[in-house]
Amino acid sequence: MSTILDVANLAGVSVATVSRVLNNSDLVIDETRDKVLKAISELDYKPNMLGRNLRRSSSKVILTLVPNISNPYYSEIVKGIQDTLSINDYQLLLANSEAEWDVESKYIKLLEQKLVDGLIWMDATARSKNVRKISQDYPVVICSQYDATDLCYVSIDNEKSAYDAVSHLINQGYRRISMFNSNQKFRYARLRLKGYQNALLDHGLEYDENMVEYVEFDEEKISTSFEKLIIEKNSIDAIFTISDFNAQFIIREADKHDIRIGKDFGLVGFDNLSFSSIIKPSLTTVDQPRYRIGTEAATLLIERIKGHRESCKQIILDHKLIIRESSLKSQN
Amino acid sequence: MSTILDVANLAGVSVATVSRVLNNSDLVIDETRDKVLKAISELDYKPNMLGRNLRRSSSKVILTLVPNISNPYYSEIVKGIQDTLSINDYQLLLANSEAEWDVESKYIKLLEQKLVDGLIWMDATARSKNVRKISQDYPVVICSQYDATDLCYVSIDNEKSAYDAVSHLINQGYRRISMFNSNQKFRYARLRLKGYQNALLDHGLEYDENMVEYVEFDEEKISTSFEKLIIEKNSIDAIFTISDFNAQFIIREADKHDIRIGKDFGLVGFDNLSFSSIIKPSLTTVDQPRYRIGTEAATLLIERIKGHRESCKQIILDHKLIIRESSLKSQN
DNA sequence: GTCGGTAATGTAACGGATTACATTGTTGAC
DNA sequence: GTCAACAATGTAATCCGTTACATTACCGAC
C-alpha cells in the first residue's frame, strides 16, 4: 500500500505538492500536476483517510442510529437524510441500535472518538440525562420529541397525534378502546400514551391502565395480548396501536377470532407504512412526513457541525390522520 | 477536547504509561494506574480513534452495503452479521447503496481509505471486473452467487431455487407463467431468469421473452406490467416474482381485476418475508436462510481480515420452497 | 542591474495515539 | 557488596496526510 511519500518520490516532487494536487490547489502548474497524477495512477495510490482525518479532525461521515432498520418507518427518514447529506458532501452510515442503550452507547463512541462528525439519533432510548450530555458535547440531532430547548430535534407532536387518532375512534362510536403501546423507554410511546389518556378523558371515558398493552414489535406478544383482552375481558371494541407494523398482526389475530375489523371492531395504526393502504381492511393510520423529518434533521445537523450554536432548534412537523376502512363502524 | 498528553501531564506520568493503562497492559502498578484513571475521568478524556487507528491501521469497523434497507429481506441477514461481528469485537455500520454503482463506489472508498477494515457487499451491482478487483485488494465478502473461485461469497443457489419455484407452478397445472424479475444488473436476477427458462424448457413449455417483466420494487410499474400481461395478452395464468415485496402488489392488482389468486391464478414469491404468511392468500415463496447467510458472511470476513488467504471460500446454503395458498389451483 | 513581488515548490511541524527501545529502580543470588 | 534480571516508567520514532512558513525562481519596473 503506497503512501503520499511514495507518490512524491516517484513523481520527483515533495509531499506538499502531492497533497496540493490531491486537494485541487491551483498553486500547481500543469506539468507538475501531470507528473503527480501519473505517479498516483501508476501506484494506484489511495490517500489514507486516517491520516487526513487526524490532521483535519473531521471525517465527513455522519452516523444515524436507527432502532430497527427492518421497520420501514425509518427507511423513508433515512432517505431524506441521505439525500440532504450527499448534497452537502457528507457520507451517511447507519447503525442498528436495537433500541438498547448498550448498543447505542457503543455507537456513540464513534462520535466521541471522532470517527464520525455528527449523529442523527432516532428514538433515543437513553435516559434524558445521557441524551442531553451527549448532545451538548457533540453535534447531535434527535429524531423524536423532547421538551428541552437546549436540544436539537425534529419530530411530530406525538401527544397530539395520538389524541387525534383516539378521538377519531371515539367519534366513530367505539367506547372500549385499548392501546397497544411499545416499550415506555421510547419517549414517543410515553407521549402517545398521554394523548390516548387525554382523548379518553376529554370525551368522558374512563382511563383504565389494564387496557394498555406493551407489546414491542413482536407478533407473538401481540397475539397473546389480543387474546387476553378479547377473550378474558371480552370487552374491547377498538385498538389504537403504536405502529402499522403491529396492526398487520392484529388484523391477522382478529381474523382468527372472526372479529370483523372496520365493522364491529375499530383499529388505528401509526406511520402510514406502504402496506397499510394495501392490506384488507385498509388501515386507518397517522401519517408522518417522514422524508421531511430526514431532510430537516440532516440540515440541522450540518448547521450544528458548522458551528452555528444558535442552530439548536426544535422542529415539530405536521402529522395527518388518514382515515380508511379499519376504523369504520357499521350502524347496528 | 483533551488528549493523551493532557492526561499524562495531569497524572504526572508519560504518555506511554497512559497508553498502557488504556490498553490494559499489566506493566503498570496499581498506584500509577489509579492516578491515570483519575486524570482520565477528571478530564473526561476519550481516546481519539483517528490517532489510534492511524497507528494501528485498523478501525475494528466493518461496513455492510445494502441495496435497499427498506427491503426486510436484508434485515435478517444484517442481524446475523451484527451478532457475529459483535462477538468478535467488531462494530458494524450499514450503508444504503441504492443498488447503484455510483453510490456503491463512494462507500467502497471508505474501505480503500482505511476507514473501515472490511466490507460485506450485498448484491453487488458493479461489473464483475470491478467486484473482482476490489475484493482482491481488500477484505470483502459478497452476499450473492458468483461463479468465480477467487471471490469470497455466501449465497443460495439462485438458479436452482427459481427452477424449483417455477417447476412447482407447472406441476400445479399452470401453463402460461410470467416472471416478474428485477433489474438485470443484479446477478441473482440473471440467475433466477435462467432457472425460470430451464424449468419451462424441461417441462416442455416454451420460453417467451415477452413474458418476463422487469419491474424493480415499484408498485406502479408492477401495476402497469400486470395490466399489460393480463389485459392485452389475456393469457397468463401464473406469476413467479423475484420478491415477496412485489408479490403483495401483485395480489392487490389481481384483486382489482377480480382474479382469484390460488384458484385460477398462481403466484410464487421469493424470500419468505414475514408478511407472506399473513396476507391473503398466503404466499408460496422460496425461503432463504437469511440469518445464517449473515453469520457465515461475517465469519468469512473476519477470517479474511485475519489474513487467512486460504479462507477465500464460496458458501452455498440451502433454500426451501414453502408452499402456501397462492399457488394452489382449483380443479376445474 | 537591482529590487520587489509573486508563483511554484519544498521543509518541517503537527494532529493523537502506539510501541520499540532506553532508562531507572528494585530484588535476589552469589 | 556486586551484578544480573526484571519490573516500571520514560523518550522518541512512527503511522499518513495537511499546511504554515521558508525557499527558490522568474518576471517586470525602474
* pLDDT at residue B218 tops 80: no
Contacts of A139 (CB under 8 A, 6+ apart): A117, A118, A119, A301, A304, A305
What average pLDDT score do residues B103-107 get?
93
What average pLDDT score do residues A147-173 get?
95
A50/B54 touch (CB, cutoff 8 Å), yes or no: yes
The three-state secondary structure class of B119 is strand
Cα–Cα distance for residue pair B30/B307, rounded to 1 Å:
36
pLDDT the model gives residue A285: 98
B134 contact A CB<8A: no
Contact B201, B194 (CB under 8 A): no
End-to-end alpha carbon distance in chain A: 78
Q: What is the pLDDT of residues B295-325, one digit of tens each?
A: 999 999 999 998 766 678 999 999 999 999 9
CA atoms within a 13 Å half-sphere pointing along the CA-CB vector of B237:
12
B57/A63 touch (CB, cutoff 8 Å), yes or no: no
Identify nearest nucleotide to residue A17 by CA to C1′ distance.
C9
Q: How far is the CA of B53 from the C1' of C7 (A)?
A: 38
DSSP state of A277: G
Higher-confidence position of B33 and B72: B33
What average pLDDT score do residues A6-25 get?
94
B113/A61 touch (CB, cutoff 8 Å), yes or no: no
Contact B77, B293 (CB under 8 A): yes
Higher-confidence position of A256 and A65: A65
Q: Which is it for strands A285-287 and A320-322: parallel, antiparallel or unpaired?
A: antiparallel
A69 CB neighbours in chain B (<8 A) are 69, 75, 78, 94
CA Rg value for chain A: 26
B252 contact A CB<8A: yes
What average pLDDT score do residues B251-260 get?
86
Q: What is the pLDDT of residues A299-318, one digit of tens each?
A: 999 999 987 666 789 999 99
- Mean of per-residue pLDDT scores for chain B: 92
Lowest mean pLDDT among A164-168, B38-42, B75-79: B75-79
- Find the farthest-apart pair of alpha carbons in chain B and give their distance in angstroms, rounded: 90
A134 burial type by CB count under 10 A (0-12 exposed, 13-18 middle, 19+ buried)? buried
Higher-confidence position of B137 and B331: B137
Cα–Cα distance for residue pair B160/A248, rounded to 1 Å:
32
Chain center to CA of A223: 26
Lowest mean pLDDT among A14-23, A129-138, A304-313, B235-244: A304-313
A279/B279 touch (CB, cutoff 8 Å), yes or no: yes
B236 burial type by CB count under 10 A (0-12 exposed, 13-18 middle, 19+ buried)? middle
Higher-confidence position of B239 and A68: B239
What average pLDDT score do residues B208-237 get?
83
- Which of B58, B60, B70 to probe the A interface (max A CBs under 10 A)? B70
Chain center to CA of B114: 22
Contact A293, A301 (CB under 8 A): no
Contacts of A106 (CB under 8 A, 6+ apart): B91
Give the minimum alpha-carbon distance from B262 to chain A in angstroms, rounded to a whole number. Answer: 17
A72 contact B CB<8A: yes
φ, ψ at B215 (rounded to 5°): -115, -5
B95 CB neighbours in chain A (<8 A) are 91-94
* pLDDT at residue A38 tops 60: yes
Q: Work out the angle at residue A228's Cα, subtended by the Cα atoms of residues A225 and A233, and round it to the nearest 5 degrees.
A: 135
Contact B244, B285 (CB under 8 A): yes
A109 CB neighbours in chain B (<8 A) are 46
Lowest mean pLDDT among A88-92, A253-257, A285-289: A253-257
Tell me which chain A residue has its CA closest to the CA of residue B109: A46
Question: How many DSSP H helices and E strands does chain B contain?
Answer: 12, 12
A290: its cell numbers = 417522514
Sign (positive or negative) of CA dihedral A224, A230, A235, A237 = positive
Q: What element of type H or E holds A212?
A: strand A212-214
Residue count of chain B: 332
Cα–Cα distance for residue pair B21/B33, rounded to 1 Å:
6
What average pLDDT score do residues A278-293 get?
93
Contact B253, B281 (CB under 8 A): no
Cα–Cα distance for residue pair B275/B324, rounded to 1 Å:
13
* pLDDT at residue B231 tops 80: no
- Amino acid present at A176: R
Q: How far is the CA of A17 from the C1' of D24 (A)?
A: 15
CB atoms within 10 A of CB B57: 11
Sheet with strand B314-317: strands edge to edge: A314-317, A153-156, A140-143, A118-122, A61-66, A91-96, B91-96, B61-66, B118-122, B140-143, B153-156, B314-317
* pLDDT at residue A233 tops 80: no
Q: How far is the CA of B169 from the C1' of D27 (A)?
A: 83
pLDDT the model gives residue A58: 93
DSSP state of A162: H
pLDDT the model gives residue B78: 94
DSSP state of B229: I
Q: What is the pLDDT of residues A105-142, one digit of tens each?
A: 999 999 999 999 999 999 988 888 899 999 989 999 99
What average pLDDT score do residues B271-291 get?
91
Backbone torsion region of residue B331, taken as left when φ is above 0, otherwise alpha when ψ lies between -120 and 50, otherwise beta: beta
pLDDT the model gives residue B331: 60
Q: What is the pLDDT of residues B199-217, one digit of tens each?
A: 999 999 999 999 999 987 7
Q: Which is it for strands A118-122 and A140-143: parallel, antiparallel or unpaired?
A: parallel
pLDDT the model gives residue B69: 84
Q: Which residues touch strand D (CB under 7 A)?
A: A 1, 3-5, 15-16, 19-20, 22-23, 45-48, 50-52, 54-56; B 12-17, 20, 26-29, 31-32, 51, 54-55, 57
Q: How far is the CA of B83 from the C1' of C8 (A)?
A: 54
Cα–Cα distance for residue pair A25/A38, rounded to 1 Å:
17
Higher-confidence position of B311 and B177: B177
Lowest mean pLDDT among A69-73, A183-187, B100-104, B145-149: A69-73
Q: Across the interface, which of B49, B96, B112 has its CB nearest the CB of A114?
A: B49
- Amino acid present at A173: G
pLDDT the model gives residue A332: 52
Contact B3, B48 (CB under 8 A): yes
pLDDT the model gives residue B257: 86
Distances (CA, A) of B293 to A258, A329, B126, B296: 39, 46, 21, 5
pLDDT the model gives residue A148: 85
B187 burial type by CB count under 10 A (0-12 exposed, 13-18 middle, 19+ buried)? buried
Q: Which is it for strands B320-322 and B285-287: parallel, antiparallel or unpaired?
A: antiparallel
What average pLDDT score do residues A167-172 get?
97
B31: its cell numbers = 498506584
Cα–Cα distance for residue pair A104/A125, rounded to 1 Å:
8
- Amino acid present at A68: N
B69 CB neighbours in chain A (<8 A) are 69, 75, 78, 94
Higher-confidence position of A328 and A232: A328
* pLDDT at residue B332 tops 60: no
Where on strand D do bases come within 7 A of a protein Cβ? 7-12, 14-20
Contact B156, B175 (CB under 8 A): no
Cα–Cα distance for residue pair A250/A264, rounded to 1 Å:
14
End-to-end alpha carbon distance in chain B: 77
